[in-house]
Copies of this chain bind each other. A is one copy, B any other.
Amino acid sequence: MLLQQSTWIEIGQFLERSRTVVIPIGSNEQHGPTGLLGTDWMCPEIIAHEAQKNADILIGPTFNIGMAQHHLGFPGTISLRPSTFIAAIGDWTRSLAVHGFEKILFLNGHGGNIATIEAAFSELYAEASFARRPAGFALKLCNWWDLEGVNDLARAQFPTGHGSHATPSEIAITQWAYPDSIKTAQYSPQIAPSGPIREALDFRARHPDGRMGSDPALATPQKGGELVALAANGLVKAVDAFSREAIPA
């Protein structure tokens, strides 16, 4: 069930049978010479939309801009500063809590988001902790590649050249979902270098075409479809486990 394609009355009815909602969250940033700028928010969106086709889970709108300051040296990247990102995650969460959602699972598509999302969770929990009261909600960060079995499949599909940015697995997923937007390009070296992540100019100097440790030409739509099917299944399980989790009195 997609929240945005529902009426408020339907969401009210859903809340009578579940208090859990999934928010796909990612980033809009360069993904090397062939990857789509939207890769990191499209992947969790694709997986979450697929998952709700066969399970009674609720997917909210996609949080499509995250923490990508290091990619700002490449055209098309849009980034929030961490302080803005924390404020926005806060308002999304507080809005959902107003309606009675008690378990909010952020399905994340961007490694660079992890630290700030966790900081945002702490900022939200701290409101309750300073006030000596229960938060009223539990928050969970779940990267799509950490869903059950997904990392194993990706390693099997791409034993070399997977890397950590503009990876063949994420590009395969977008190829499966947007077959009309498959791009090709020449690049070298075949497997890109790795390195620390600092400001945008530093990043571009280290990674001139945007890739980090990856060979995205290994991606195929078929491999993407396999990943989506497995991840969608894993998401349903993760939502179920999170929903069942008891909160201490």
Bound state CA distance, A67 and B129, in angstroms? 12
Tell whether A55 is near chain B: CB-to-CB under 8 Å: no
The answer to whether B4 touches A28 (Cβ under 8 A) is yes
| Nearest-Cβ distance from residue A174 to partner chain B, whole angstroms | 8
Tell whether A185 is near chain B: CB-to-CB under 8 Å: yes
Stretch at the interface among A46-54, A71-79, A144-152, A218-226: A71-79
Tell whether A191 is near chain B: CB-to-CB under 8 Å: no
The answer to whether B37 touches A7 (Cβ under 8 A) is yes
- With most chain B CB atoms within 10 A of its CB, the pick from A31, A34, A35, A38 is A38
| Nearest-Cβ distance from residue A214 to partner chain B, whole angstroms | 14
Chain B hits for A95, CB < 8 A: 72, 77-79, 130
Chain B: which residue is nearest A136 at the CB level?
Answer: B199
Chain B hits for A114, CB < 8 A: 115
| Size of the chain A interface, CB-CB below 8 angstroms | 93
| Nearest-Cβ distance from residue A160 to partner chain B, whole angstroms | 23
The answer to whether B76 touches A198 (Cβ under 8 A) is no
Question: Which one of B63, B64, B73, B122 contacts A67 once the chains associate, using CB atoms below 8 Å?
Answer: B122
Knowing A64-B62, A126-B69, the reply to whether A3 touches B84 (Cβ < 8 A) is no
Tally of this chain's copies: 6
The answer to whether B76 touches A11 (Cβ under 8 A) is yes
Chain B hits for A196, CB < 8 A: 138
| Nearest-Cβ distance from residue A241 to partner chain B, whole angstroms | 12
| Nearest-Cβ distance from residue A2 to partner chain B, whole angstroms | 8
Bound state CA distance, A199 and B244, in angstroms? 19
Chain B: which residue is nearest A72 at the CB level?
Answer: B129
Bound state CA distance, A8 and B36, in angstroms? 8
Question: Which residues 53-101 of A have a CB within 8 angstroms of B?
Answer: 60-65, 67, 69-70, 72-84, 86-88, 90-92, 94-96, 98-100
Knowing A38-B5, A64-B62, A84-B84, the reply to whether A132 touches B247 (Cβ < 8 A) is no
Extra contacts, 12 of them, besides A3-B28, A28-B61 (Cβ < 8 A), are: A4-B37, A7-B31, A8-B77, A9-B185, A61-B64, A72-B129, A73-B129, A75-B100, A78-B96, A80-B88, A81-B130, A134-B199
Q: List 18 A-B contacts (CB under 8 A).
A: A4-B36, A4-B64, A5-B37, A5-B181, A8-B33, A9-B33, A11-B37, A61-B65, A62-B64, A69-B126, A70-B122, A78-B91, A83-B87, A84-B91, A95-B130, A128-B200, A134-B199, A135-B199
